[in-house]
Amino acid sequence: MQVTIVGHWGGYPKVDEASSGYLIEHEGFRILLDCGSGVLSKLQRFVQPEMLNGVILSHYHPDHIADIGVLQHARLIRGLLGKEMECLPIYGHSSNKQEFAKLTYKEITKGIAYDPDEVLKLGPFTISFLQTNHPVDCYAMRLEADGYSIVYTADTSFKEELIPFSQKANLLLCECNFYGNQDGRQAGHMTSMDGGKLAHAAQVEQLILTHLPHYGDIQQLKVEAATLFKGSILLAQSGLNLKL
């Protein structure tokens, strides 16, 4: 299994960068987790839009879905230029009917509602969901294939249920929008200390801090998380590639 960070900023992208987007690949099957602002531009450094086999969205805040429309138009134009591709499934929850409806576009993309209480099978992956603590309905995801596992927390404040959900994952993509001396609970976000606590309690192999803040010294996030988790910790950056 292979993970590539496409975008990693919380709220909005920094100059020439992108907000949330993560490319997951296994056995030639490619899934994009979230598709925030700037993701399509950065994605083309790694794969072309017609090469995606599926997209899964955690929730409908703009920093996680802003580039869905441009992804749809990119696939439309690539098709008009002669690229062959099937209709792209975009999986999202259906509790927000207005946003879910936008996932279907002509014969280019098809919105498919996932059931958070059921395991989704997509290509070589099995994907399970956990509702997070966030101002809108949002779901963390655990992707498994051939004995490997990746957990993506999406946007959430710390909740105890994340510990068994993340248990012994090979990789934890953990949101970290606040520093250790802050309290992200009202905003529905975790701190660096929350990330370290979760990684330690869940006994994960590697922690990647993502959905990063736009202020302060972000290297401090890694230092703070390391006071609680003694395993490998990386700060997300566009182009970071990991093979499990």
In terms of Cβ atoms closer than 10 Å to its own Cβ (0-12, 13-18, 19+), residue 16 is exposed
pLDDT on residue 205: 98
pLDDT on residue 82: 93
pLDDT on residue 199: 98
CATH assignment, 2-243: 3.60.15.10
Q: Is-contact 48 30, C-beta < 8 A?
A: no
How do residues 52-84 score in pLDDT, each as one tens digit?
A: 999 999 999 999 999 999 999 999 999 999 998
Domain residue ranges in the chain: 2-243
pLDDT on residue 80: 94
Instruction: Report the sign of the C-alpha dihedral through residues 117, 112, 177, 6, in that order.
Output: positive
Q: Give the separation between CA 123 and CA 92, rounded to whole angstroms.
A: 17
pLDDT on residue 4: 98
Q: Which residues contact 178 (CB under 8 A, 6 or more apart)?
A: 184, 187, 189, 190, 191, 192, 213
What would the two tokens of residue 194 be?
């929350």
Please give the biggest Cα pair distance in the chain. Answer: 54
How do residues 35-55 score in pLDDT, each as one tens digit?
A: 999 999 999 999 999 999 999
Q: What is the pTM (predicted TM-score) of this model? A: 0.97
